[in-house]
Amino acid sequence: MKKLAVLVLTLACLLSFAGCSNGGDETVEGEKRQLVVSTWGLSEDVLVEDVYGPFEEICDCEVVLETDTTAARYTKLSTNPDSSIDVIELSQSAAANGYEEGLFEKIDTTQIPNLENLIDGALSTVELGYGPAYTVNSIGIIYNPELTGFEITSWEDLWDPRLEGMISIPELASTFGPAMVYLASDHAGVDITTDDGAAAFEALAELKPNIVRTYAKSSDLANMFAAGEIAVAVVGDFGVPVISNAAPEVEFVVPADYTYANFNTIDINKNSENKDLAYMYINWRISEELQTVTSKTLNEGPVNKNVKLTEEEAQNLTYGDVADRARAIDYSFVNPLMEEWTDLWNRTLNS
């Protein structure tokens, strides 16, 4: 599979409008050009093996990673658009802020031929003139049944008093923080758009006795589960393999009624000096061949509609039935409220 993926990338480089090694600024003879990718710090060894390594080999460049949380990485770019970052991978909510601030390149779709193979949801940002989604994920509940003493099957179970002092939920500024507010509003039986989340924060106050702490990165959850600090967490499906490796006894469930989805996007810094490489990287990231690989090794829900997975391969992915019952979060509604929500969040959960 890896040889096939490299071959596809080779052909793409040869056929690309921009090319891999001839475009952009010249470098000192003998030195490889660098593509700086801002991304999350999860499974870097796998990313190097399956994603960055083949790209470096064929495009004769070096991929340099800048890793941190969504909020930290977005802030770094927004406060310094002239930074060395060429490509940034973000959650939908952070990307939407970038569109408003004009941080990203308006893309030339002719330089990303694999766009024609994406599902509709992954193209919503392209329709705005920006980069596509490269993966879709959703939230579920991961828990240790030995510690909870009962089976968790629904979102309502989070409020069960038997879980007092057992739960961790995502920080508001993290990828699925807003989804947690939506879930709380659902628990209250209120359409969140009718009260701007007021009922949600009342429900979060009710949930507080069950919450040990909030978390920013799913890798933090792995440590907490392994140490027995928590028994339950709300987590994106992309974090399940890391947690399961650290705590094999945990189980992951996506409640049967619904979940909330997030598309992770990939955009080019408008001030990048390596836009030709950036276009090639995006095209590689959304290719059928690579997405078939990363859906299995990185637990990334594929957005390339030509990817076919078996039931076993699709486990813990936003794919098939899970994707069908995933609800969208309206970030045009959420983002203007984030300052107010952050204040309420801190007063409700951190006081």
Per-residue pLDDT of the chain (351 residues; tens, 9 = 90+): 445 545 555 555 544 434 454 444 445 566 899 999 999 888 889 999 999 999 999 899 999 999 998 889 999 999 997 899 999 999 898 999 999 999 999 999 999 999 999 998 899 899 999 999 999 999 999 999 999 999 999 999 999 999 999 999 999 988 899 999 999 999 999 999 999 999 999 999 999 999 999 999 888 999 999 999 999 999 999 899 899 999 999 999 999 999 999 999 999 999 999 999 999 999 999 999 999 999 999 889 999 999 999 999 998 899 988 988 899 888 889 999 999 999 999 999 987
Are 270 and 296 part of one and the same domain? Answer: yes
Considering the entire predicted model, what is its pTM? Answer: 0.78
CA distance 35 to 108: 19
Are 48 and 172 part of one and the same domain? Answer: no
Are 31 and 124 part of one and the same domain? Answer: yes
**CATH code at 311?**
3.40.190.10
Are 75 and 154 part of one and the same domain? Answer: no
Specify the pLDDT at position 20. Answer: 57
> Can you name the residues that pair with 88 across neighbouring β-strands?
38, 267
CA distance 330 to 227: 36
Are 252 and 286 part of one and the same domain? Answer: no
* Number of separate domains in the chain: 2
Note down the domain range covering 157: 139-261+328-349
Are 299 and 335 part of one and the same domain? Answer: no
Looking at the chain, list the stretches that DSSP marks H as alpha helix, in order from N- to C-terminal side: 2-15, 44-47, 53-59, 70-79, 92-101, 145-148, 177-188, 192-195, 198-207, 218-226, 240-246, 275-285, 288-297, 321-324, 331-334, 338-349
Specify the pLDDT at position 315. Answer: 87
